[in-house]
Amino acid sequence: MKNMIIASTSTLHGSGYLTYLLPTLKVHFKNVKELLFIPFARPGGISYDDYTSIVKKVFSVLGIDVKGIHEYKNGEKAIKNAEAIFTGGGNTFELVNQLYKTDILNTLRQVLEKGTPYLGTSAGSNICGVNMMNTNDMPIVYPPDFTTLGCINFNINAHYLDPIEGSTHMGETRETRIKEFHVFNDIPVLGLREGSWLEVNDNEVILKGKLTARLFEKNKQPIELESRVVIKF
């Protein structure tokens, strides 16, 4: 029943917020009149109201009204009654912290499993995996648990970056960090590049966009997945 868009980013270089995804979202959210927005990730420390205003402006182009979950007295009830849900990007640690603090993580999982249309970008995509341990974000807060929605049976590394040829940077690459993760964990990790997204229809997961994605599994060489491939484990 799952009906999800899991995108690496909300904004491509040189374009507006969600602009590159609007044709897809027009189809994904057809017949939706009101969208529930979860602004907990707070990119740059922005307020919930300001973040929701940005999203409201974009979705007005599609004829969809937006209301932030913080505007409701009962967040669990808001999720259960939502026509559709969008969780925006920002800091994954704070996002997960608030999902636990407000006790809505399990409710969110339940409605997504039943088919409520969902969009996640960046941090909002990281939470779709088994856990949040492949985020690139700084641990500015400490959530009670790293376990997330588990709507897909692998983890997402959003904004995946390849090593830059000729760079003198001596820090670890994304690939190195993911290899470190696999010393202690068996969960596959998908490096999702900017401009790529996953379409989840029930248990079918399809890579979309023009770019490949890099798949990491423990004790295996990483491989490149072509766009439109069905990802299975």
* Catalytic residue annotation: 122, 137, 159
Cα separations in angstroms, 5 against 29, 68, 93, 151, 192: 10, 19, 21, 11, 13
Cα separations in angstroms, 165 against 162, 169, 216: 9, 10, 21
The candidate with the shortest Cα–Cα distance to 189, out of 127, 130, 109, 121, is 130
Cα separations in angstroms, 215 against 50, 66, 110, 112, 121: 35, 34, 27, 24, 19
Q: Are 66 and 114 in contact (CB under 8 A)?
A: no
The tokens for 137 are 């974000």
| Angle ∠(214,211,173) on CA atoms, nearest 5 | 40
Beta strands 213-216 and 118-121, pairing class: unpaired
Quote the CA–CA distance of 67 and 48 in Å, as a whole number.
Answer: 11
